[in-house]
Amino acid sequence: MKKWVYFFGAGKAEGDGTWRDLLGGKGAGLAEMTKIGLPVPAGFTISTEACDYFYKNGKKYPAELKKQVDETSPNSNAPPRRTWAIRGTHSSSACAPAPPAPCPE
């Protein structure tokens, strides 16, 4: 299964500042800040590949995305900081994908 969602927080991160093409500028920066010990609230980044998939597949999300978001969400019982929908199901997140260049429309 392809990985679409990358965790950061509690001093650990999937990725770092060099993963800009995959995590976008914001995601790579948050991962790097987490790894060097700055106090970054736990969250996740949805990859730029998910953005590419969305636009190349009729504005549909990858089938595995919702499950990966649910599995990666920190404090899933905590009140959501930001709410967004994937096919009508709400999830909470601390970070949205930010590609190194804007996604095409």
Q: Determine the Cα–Cα distance for residues 104 and 32; give it in Å rounded to an integer.
A: 26
- Coil, strand or helix: which one is 90? strand
Per the prediction, the chain carries an average pLDDT of 81
Question: φ, ψ for residue 35 (rounded to 5)?
Answer: -65, -30
**Which of the two residues, 14 and 91, has the higher pLDDT score?**
14
C-alpha span between 70 and 29 (Å, rounded): 23
Containing 89, the helix (H) or strand (E) segment is strand 89-92
Task: Supply the pLDDT for residue 62.
Answer: 96
Beta bridge partners of 6: 45
Tokens of 40: 């970054």
Q: Among the listed ranges 34-38, 51-55, 56-60, 76-80, which one has the minimum average pLDDT value? A: 76-80
The two most distant CA atoms of the chain are separated, in Å, by 40
Please report the pLDDT score of residue 102 as a whole number: 55
**pTM to 2 decimals?**
0.72
Q: Count Cβ atoms within 10 A of the Cβ of residue 105 and give its class: 0-12 exposed, 13-18 middle, 19 or more buried.
A: exposed
Helices (H), the chain: 20-35, 48-56, 65-72
Instruction: Give the pLDDT of residue 72.
Output: 87
Q: What is the pLDDT of residue 92?
A: 41
Structure tokens of 69?
Answer: 């978001």
